[in-house]
Structure 1
Amino acid sequence: MSGCVFGDFWVSAGLAGIWLIRIVCLKDRSILIWAIVTSLVFGCWFVFQRDQRRLQTLPEMSNTTVKLQVQPDDVLVGPDSVQLKGRLPTGQQVTGQYYAAEGERPAPQWQIKRASTLTVAGDVMQFEPATNVNEFDYGAYQRQNGVLNRVKIAQLLAVTPATGGHVWQRWLNACHTLRARLIIETKKLPPLLALYVQGLFLGYRADNFYDNLAAVTDLGLIHLFSISGFHVVWLTAVMAFVLKRLRCSQAAVNVIILLSLPSYFVLAGAAPSLLRAILVSMLALGASLMHWKVTPLTLWGLSLMLALLWYPALLMQLGGQLSYALAFALIFVEGRSTLMKTVLLNMVSLPFVLYHVYQWHVWSLMANLLILPVFSWLIFPVTLIGGLLGLKFPVVAQLCTHLLGWFTQGLDTIAHFPGMITFGKPHIVLVVLLVGLTLVLLTRHRQRTVIIALAVTYAASFLMIHYPVKGEVTFFDIGQGDSFMIREPYGKQITMIDTGGDVFFGGHQVKKRSRALRLNINYMQSMGIHRIDALCLSHQDADHVGFVGDVLKTMAVKRLYIPWGMAANPQFMQRIRPNLNQTQLISVRAGQTIPGTHLKVVHPFTPGLGGNEDSMVLTGQYGGLQFMFTGDLGQDGEKKIIAHYPQLRTDVLKLGHHGSKTSSAPEFIQALQPKVGIISAGRHNRYGHPNQETLATLAQQHVPYFNTQTNGMIRYRFRAHHPGYWETVMKEDAT
């Protein structure tokens, strides 16, 4: 029911139909009635919540003043920026971003120590949609969690302490205030110890978390740092042990833990994935106090229903899916060996991981098997002791840091073993089938048949992703820059032209995950691509080659092509040399071809250092259309091309320099006679790309065009020796 409203309707409706058939087959009228009534209640609740969110989403407003009720642990003050989450007086949740003037730091007033009301001036904006295929939709994620708008803050006008309110609000404020203080205090610990303490017990991840603990993600161990059932069971066991040593009765122990769990839920960051563990523990403790016998499956089901009342879209997120899928599977693996438990739980999680992350490390199974006991008996105690005593006794902090450092180095060593498999994103129907077959495997019925079916399904999914019948020419929406990919049918040849890159104008560079890893590399991995046969860089500008380091580190690049003379540019060579490894560097000039592809080089004619005028220009035929990629070549270079190649024609022209008036000379467009133009430019870019003169030239020559600003990612998909068709993420047609 939740999926029908918040996710994929047809898949969810199909699962609901299967579930209903199962209920009918039980031939128990009371169960059928209860199931229908419950479904109707939850269905109405989900629709109501969806409609409320639509109604409460504010229209965009510029230069307005708003009041934000914020908690101190929801305000993250950086060197030159502030990120926060708060509520408007009307109850809507919003995020806020503030950037200090260049060379300045945020004012001390941002460092609030208790619940406060911030009066700010700025713009109320809606979240931008994902504009590339398989790009993480941050706006949808925030809306699923009830955050409906964002505020671009220009100025902090006033800070006033929040009023006490009712008992519930005072308790909530106290928990948030304590969490904020704990985060501040733990930052004084040695950096590595601080990362572990904050991640394992406070649900807080610093900006450098993934840089320092990259192996945790690569080996599929991030769940150990996502506070959930594993942490709650460990902490409640420690509390019970201490309370019993203080001679508390079992009933008193249960009551104290039961009353403490809601506070810990807030102290640990109140993540949706943590809610299940808290609810299960509270329900189990309540049942014990009432002397009720409740089965684990009943606890699981009750916790799911209560969680969906609080977070209706919980199961649309990877954290919620893994939390409930693994908890469900744990019920059925009791009594099996540790090895078999680990294998089965990894098999349950694998379809979800592949659907959202696209990769899997073959060593993750061994890592989970070996490291879970280490976490229970070493890492948790060491981290807790270091967090509690580290500030008062620096020697203890240093000792704990050394132990955690050895552990982290061990993870890094394992993560660097070969074995990372780029599987790609399987179709959601196959994901459902894989999950269903794995759950059947837990029942121990017809195991041989189920294992064969699983193997066949995984193999079929892998082959469909890695050897697609259709090829594609893809123009990524990389912002202000260029990045394109050509994939021939059946994955025979992968060519990438430019990588995109960040361009800064003396403003603020926010530390976050590389856009390449979130956009073009992410898309390629989702399509099962782990190698690039030919990486062609048009010239040295950062908006074209800025992400080349990420591409070279992430992908197995066979050959790197650059325009004639750019190898003599020391600045460019310094950028790529550390990551070349086994990649062959090749310079090309007009008249040459890119081996293994259909691409021919038609510029440059003379060597250069990689300026706009030295841009590599490529042309080639795919899916019955002739494509041309022009980099940032100016009008003088365009005229040289048509002078050297007077018979040259093209069907699809990637306009030079993002549609600038310095490119796309009228005689160049007239000579090439393109049928479609492609403009790759960033939204609201400071250059005003595309220029109106260029658009007028296209109009005069009757050339329709796609623009990544309005169309998002653009794909031309085709079969071998057949014409293809155009697709855009944002559904506007070519202008």
Structure 2
Amino acid sequence: MDAASDTSRTCDSYGRDRAVPPVSVIALALLGGVLAVQGLPSLPSPAWTAVLAFAALGAGWRWPRLRGLAIFALGFAWCVWRADAALQARLPRDLEGRDFEVVGVVDELPVMRADATRFSLRAEQALLDGAPVALRGRIRLSWYGPAPADLAACERWRMTVRLKRPRGLANPGGFDSERHALERGIVAVGYVRDGAARQRIGTQRHCVDRVRDGLSTAIVGHVGDVHATRLLRAFAVGDTRGLEPLDWEVARANGVPHLISISGFHVGVAALFGAWLVRALWWALPSLALRLPAPLAMAPAALATAVGYGLLAGNSLPTVRTVLMIAVVALARLGRRAGSGPQSLALALVAVLLFDPLAVLAPGFWLSFVGVAFLMLSLQRERGALGFVRELGVGQWVMTIALLPLTAWFFGEASLVGALSNLIAIPFVSLAIVPLTLLATLLQLLLPGLAGPLFVVAGWLVHAQWWLWEQMATWPGARWYLPEVAPWALVLATLGAAWLFLPRGIPLRPLGLLLFLPLAVPPADRPEPGAFEATMVDVGQGLAVIVRTHRHVLLYDAGARYPSEFDLGEVAVLPAMRAAGIGALDHLIVSHNDNDHGGGAPAILRAFPKAARSGGESDTSPLGLAACVAGQRWTWDGVDFRVLHPPPASTARGNDRSCVVLVEHAGGRLLLTGDVGRRVEPAIAAAAGAGAPLVLVVPHHGSRTSSSPGFIGALSPVLGVVSAAWRSRFGHPHPRVVERYRTRDVPLINSADAGAVRIAFPADAPPRIVRREREHRRRYWRE
């Protein structure tokens, strides 16, 4: 009797002497430990982490009440070890900019553009000057110019490449490519060298990407409509290479990017497809039930189908999460055990974190797990067709509202038409497009001659669905941009969503909307009347400066546009403006027509078509710019703007035609110089004259053809800011220029080191730096 009592007490009283905590406690404790690492500016030493892990194991073994805390500490240590190993695998700093002979396998479908092909190479061997180098992992490469046709997934190549460590731009609201590199295991980035050894040396056996590429090519041969082909390739094998930026804009405006490429949703449909095939077979051959009951046969069939389709999807995190959940349910069914949805979700979370704790760095991790958790919290199983329709409608509202805080946190935008768009699209996609595409894909693998008609019909359906999405993308609220989200506002809004979608019967549920207010209506952060601020955006080799007064905004230059990579106006400048809560642009000035200054301007003008526009080379610009001429001036909110150069009759071209603007008030001045050189600098310095403390945007990124000693001496700036790329191939800023400023005791800040730089110009005080992006957001993965 005493033994039975002890056993009962062990089973029923966790917190006192239970041996194993519930799986939900394990999952949350493990997640908490992994998350604690992500806020660190640097990782603790491996020795300290090992001590913590052993202490946690001992405490958890000795004191059962501390097992939740012990799991938290073990999760912390596990994530630190994995993160440290990933960082140590990166290319050593002292080897950056060197040429390596690398042997590796192309492990993704290459993305081909007009001027370059981008691909990922999993390095197997690396040589530097003939000596082996310890470089293992994924290398992201660009092959400029026409790439050979056999540069394909699963092919093994030997090539000479120039490499550097993964380092991206650092801007408010911008994409964190260094975090992405850590999460994806990218150890170096670079490009294939022209005229050096480049040789295909074989093919990797048993490579899924070759199957994906073959299916993608087959779809192109079956479907005539080019756009429908691109979408079907995404639906069938997760091949999104053909999709243009405009396609993703339409998808985001409808809140349906998860439906465009293979996601967990598609894998779930595939699992049902596999289960239904087994049920149909057992119905056709009833004698099979004598050997194995149909439910026990359906479970492994669903799992096998999910695993196979997940491999075709490229094993993205949402697909892995769904496969793990299906595996939990299938194993429970095979073991004749009942498992709840929350338990399955918790087990999948534990499995993902144990397999790869760095998965928490990916937005898809949070959108997947949080979305499913909210659906489990809010939906109540109802019978019948009406119950299904109601759950479908409620589910879309749950996903739209519940994921809005996370969407704003990761992407700075949300879609308010997403609920309606998903309500229409999900049944159509799940009941028509995806099953038809799955069946066509299966036939393409087994009976290729029968797949063509099905792909054609699927193409018609996709075309009709896309037409509807294009119309809805133009509706008000389709693209709702939010300022930079504070962590506390994210937490409050998520709690508000949980409160809002508690089960029926809980009182005062609508009050959860109040917790969304800090997210939806953040406090205004703009200069007081008579003051202004300037943010030099980190655009690499280029220039973009946002000047903001109390009610107006000027953008001086917009960065570059690289057809094979990205548009800095779209991916750096616009996110920085939206993160600052800027909803309108009054004036765009393109200093001159070089790509690194005006390449991103079209993207800016698409976002703000009503903005006034001018430039120093207006007569040769395709943007319809008004002439920027010395003598022009205006006043915004007590702040004066004066154009100092070029003069009205100037015959200069190129850099020396740059539009130079002086922004000033009683407390300080800002001089925007474009790419002017020494020949015109004396006239600019004379026009600027003396006055309040001056901050100088260093001309021409610190080129040795500018910033003459006389120019620096005449202006006597209190600060110089340089916009240049990390490891600039032009050598900006030039060491001689840096020395000239040092001699004059002028401190220099380089965006390559600091990221975006924000400078305040108070009405009654000298200018001061208020934010360096790399220091403001210090994280262990940041270079």
Q: Same fold (TM over 0.5)?
A: yes
Contact 1:594 1:601 in 2 (8 A): no
Answer yes or no: is 1:67 the counterpart of 2:110: no
Aligned pair partner of 1:598 in 633, 640, 651:
640
AA partner of residue 183 (structure 1) = S
Query: Counterparts of 1:176-575 in structure 2 under 5 Å?
Result: 176-190=209-223, 191-247=226-282, 249-335=294-380, 337-384=391-438, 392=449, 397-419=455-477, 420-444=479-503, 449=508, 451-455=510-514, 457-459=516-518, 462-464=521-523, 472-489=533-550, 492-502=551-561, 511-555=564-608, 557-563=610-616, 566-567=617-618, 569=619, 571-572=620-621, 575=622
Matched, 1:133 2:183: no
SS in 1 for 2:614: strand
User: Aligned-pair distance for 1:127?
Assistant: 0.6
Deviation of 1:97 after TM superposition, in Å, equals 1.4
Does the CA-based 8 Å contact 2:83-2:358 persist in structure 1?
no
The aligned counterpart of 2:117 is 81
Q: Deviations 1:219-271 (Å, cap 9, x if unpaired)? A: 21111134333212212222222222222633222222223433322221101
Match of 1:634 in 2: 677
Preserved contact between residue 698 and residue 720 of structure 2 (Cα < 8 Å): yes
Q: Give the deviation of 1:313 after TM superposition.
A: 2.0
1:698 aligns with 2:741: yes
**Residue in 1 that maps onto 2:14:** none
1:689, CA displacement in angstroms? Answer: 3.3
Q: What one-letter code is carried by the residue in structure 1 that aligns with 2:102?
A: V
Q: Which moved more, 1:258-267 or 1:1-10?
A: 1-10
**Secondary structure at the residue paired with 1:532?**
coil
Match of 1:118 among 157, 166, 171: 157
Partner of 1:13: none
1:643–1:209 CA distance, 2 compared to 1 (3 A): closer
The letter for the 2-side match of 1:576 is L
**8 A contact 1:119–1:159 mirrored in 2:** yes
Following the alignment from structure 1 to structure 2, what is the Cα–Cα distance between the partners of residues 96 and 588?
41
Rounded to whole Å, the distance in 2 between the matches of 1:560 and 1:517 is 18
- CA distance in 1: counterparts of 2:689 and 2:80, whole angstroms: 62
After superposition, give the CA deviation of every residue in 1:110-155 in whole Å (9 maximum; x if it has no partner).
346xx55433333443211433333312122121233333454435
Match of 1:682 among 704, 714, 725: 725
Residue 505 of structure 1 corresponds to: none
Residues of 1 paired with 2:404 and 2:763: CA distance?
Answer: 33
Q: Does the residue aligned with 1:135 lie in a helix, a strand or coil?
A: coil
Partner SS for 2:534: strand
Where structure 2 has 5 or more consecutive residues not aligned to the other structure, the ranges are 1-31, 42-61, 126-133, 283-287, 289-293, 381-389, 777-783
CA contact (8 A) 1:272 1:311 kept: no
Inter-partner Cα distance in structure 2 for 1:623 and 1:728: 25
Q: Could you tell me how far apart the structure 1 residues matched to 2:237 and 2:592 are? A: 46
Q: Which residue of 2 aligns with 1:16?
A: none
Contact 1:589-1:601 at 8 Å conserved across structures:
yes
- Which residues in structure 2 correspond to 1:713-728 (within 5 Å)? 713-717=756-760, 721-726=764-769, 727-728=771-772
C-alpha change, 1:151 and 1:556, in structure 2 (3 Å) is closer
CA separation of 1:288/1:126 partners in 2, compared to 1, >3 Å: closer, same or farther?
same
Taking structure 2 as the reference length, the TM-score comes to: 0.79
Letter in 2 for 1:414: M
1:93 aligned onto 2:113: no
What SS does the aligned partner of 2:370 have?
A: helix
Partner amino acid for 2:629? R
AA paired with 1:539? Answer: H
Alpha-carbon separation, structure 2, partners of 1:448 and 1:495: 49
Matches of 1:396 and 1:199, distance apart in 2: 16
The change in CA–CA distance for 1:37 and 1:672 in structure 2 (over 3 A counts) is closer
Indicate the structure whose relative CO is greater, using CA pairs within 8 Å and at least 6 residues apart. 2
Counterpart of 2:80, as a letter, is V
Distance in 2 between residues matched to 1:55 and 1:658, nearest whole Å: 32
Distance across 2 between alignment mates of 1:438 and 1:398: 42
Q: Which whole-Å deviations, capped at 9, do the CAs of 1:360-397 have from their partners, x for residues lacking one? A: 23222221222222222333245446656797476654
| Contact 1:82 1:106 (C-alpha < 8 Å) held by counterparts | no
Q: Alignment partner of 2:357: what SS?
A: coil
Deviations 1:651-670 (A, max 9, x none): 11122222234433433322
CA distance in 2, matches of 1:294, 1:680: 57
RMSD: 3.3
Alpha-carbon deviations, 1:291-322, whole Å to 9, x = none? 10111110010000001111212223211100
Cα distance in structure 2, aligned partners of 1:465 and 1:68: 51
Alpha-carbon offset, residue 411 of structure 1: 0.8
Query: Partner residue of 1:7?
Result: 38
* Contact 2:164/2:188, CA 8 A, preserved across alignment: yes
In structure 2, what residue type is equivalent to 1:93?
Answer: G
Q: Which moved more, 1:45-54 or 1:409-418?
A: 45-54
C-alpha contact (below 8 Å) 1:354/1:360 kept by paired residues: yes
Q: 1:97 touches 1:151 (CA, 8 Å); kept in 2?
A: yes
What SS is found at the alignment partner of 1:552?
helix
1:427–1:69 CA distance, 2 compared to 1 (3 A): same
Give the partner amino acid of 1:44.
Answer: A
Q: What's the counterpart of residue 147 of structure 2?
A: 106
TM-aligned CA deviation for residue 216 of structure 1: 0.8
Secondary structure of the structure 2 residue equivalent to 1:188: helix
Name the amino acid aligned to 1:199: A
Bigger drift between 200-209 and 439-448 goes to 439-448
Q: Deviations over 1:178-198 (max 9, x none)?
A: 233223333434333332232
Contact map agreement 2:250 2:470 (CA 8 A) in 1: yes
C-alpha distance in 2, partners of 1:515/1:289?
53
CA contact (8 A) 1:221 1:368 kept: yes
What is the CA deviation profile of residues 307-341 of structure 1, one whole-angstrom value per residue up to 9, with x for unaligned ones?
A: 11112122232111000001111112222644333
User: What percentage of residue pairs aligned between the two structures are identical?
Assistant: 20
Structure 1 stretch 394-403 or stretch 477-486: which is displaced more? 394-403
Q: Which residue of 1 aligns with 2:87?
A: 54
> Take 2:199 and 2:628, find their aligned partners in 1: how far apart are those partners?
60
